[in-house]
Amino acid sequence: MRITIDIDDKDLLQVQELTGIRKRAPAVRHAVKTYLEEMAKKRFLQEVLAGHTDYPFTNEELEAMGSYDAD
């Protein structure tokens, strides 16, 4: 979908610098996608910490799958 939005020049430049993407539209799309992914992670973590999820794996099972790094 195409939309027209006003973004402060300094903010747009910072988005381009932080993403490493020189073109404006792809940099903004990347920033929005990244923001949405981070919000989904945060929301999931809040649900887990509140005990509202039933995560099916134990720490031992995660370690066995190689999906967990216990450093």
Does the pLDDT of residue 6 top 80, yes or no? yes
Burial 28-43 (b: 16+ CB within 10 A, else e): bebbeeeeeeeeeeee
Q: Which is higher by pLDDT, 68 or 52?
A: 52
Q: How confident is the model at residue 36 (pLDDT cuts 50, 70, 90)?
A: very high
Q: What is the pLDDT of residue 43?
A: 92
What is the mean pLDDT of the segment spanning 39-65? 83
- Its pTM stands at 0.68
Report pLDDT for 38: 95
